[in-house]
Amino acid sequence: MKKITIAIDGFSSTGKSTLAKQLANVLGYVYVDTGAMYRAVTFYAMQNNWVSENHLDKEVIISNLNHVNLKFQYNADLGFAEMYLNDTNVEQAIRTLEVSQNVSKVAEISEVRAKLVQQQQEMGKEKGVVMDGRDIGTVVFPNAELKIFMTASAETRAERRFKELTEKGQRVTFEEVLENVQQRDYIDTHRDDSPLVQAEDAIVVDNSTLSKEEQFNLVLQLVNDKI
Ligand code: C5P
């Protein structure tokens, strides 16, 4: 069976990573969560006080990019790869609302994008990869055999993210989460470099109305048509 590249893009909290992980496990493909990479760079910048709610030290972030070493390491118990920043596991630390509130500002920086896109292209060069993000089908792998664009209403997405965060014990309100989802979508779709747009040849999956299982079966069928 031929190996293909599967690009999954879309708005925040549309369930991209759940779908991508399921697909990668069933197909025996590598899963790459590119959002985790932008989150890890943001976490690094936050630790150094280069980004916060009201400021962004863009030039300092750029000049320190060579000190950021990102790695995914597979965790067999979890069934997916966790994010390591300079050899420290940051998988939990990068999922907080604080990181979510800063990440889109850091992801606007072209130098950050160039570095991460190059690593993503390297990770996917052998195909057999499911990669999710915002610019995978448009910039990272414009020739991907299958491109999915995921969407759902902002409320559905905020509810999902709110549940996820509170289940992990984080103290957030639904309104904060909804505001963050809407703010990230705005920045992600309006930035100059690699804005979030649907690739012309992407297939739209709106999961406001689909169960996880229906969504998975639908996309698996699309994969089977390609391999
Ligand atoms: O996918 P996730 O919601 O974890 O991504 C966090 C943020 O990282 C996005 O809101 C976006 O600003 C940025 N991102 C990006 N390009 C990607 C993946 C994520 O700009 N390919």
Q: Write down the domain spans for the chain.
A: 5-224
**Cα of 1 from ligand 1 centre, angstroms:** 31
Bridge-based pairing of strands 88-89 and 80-85 is antiparallel
Tokens 């999710």 belong to 132
| 55-108 tens-digit pLDDT | 999 999 999 999 999 999 999 999 899 999 999 999 999 999 999 999 999 999
Q: Which CATH number fits domain 5-224: 3.50.50.60, 3.40.50.1000, 3.40.50.300, 3.30.390.50?
A: 3.40.50.300
In sequence order, the 6+-apart residues with CB closer than 8 A to the CB of 96 are 165, 170
Residue 210 has pLDDT above 90, yes or no: no
What span, in angstroms and rounded, lies between the C-alpha atoms of 15 and 24?
14
Beta bridge partners of 85: 70, 88
**Cα of 19 from ligand 1 centre, angstroms:** 16
At 190, give phi and psi (nearest 5°): -105, -5
| 160-190 tens-digit pLDDT | 999 999 999 999 999 999 999 999 999 999 9
CB atoms within 10 A of CB 55: 10
Which ipTM value was assigned to this complex? Answer: 0.99
First to last CA, the chain: 6
pTM for the model: 0.96
Is 12 touching ligand 1 by the criterion CB < 6 Å? yes
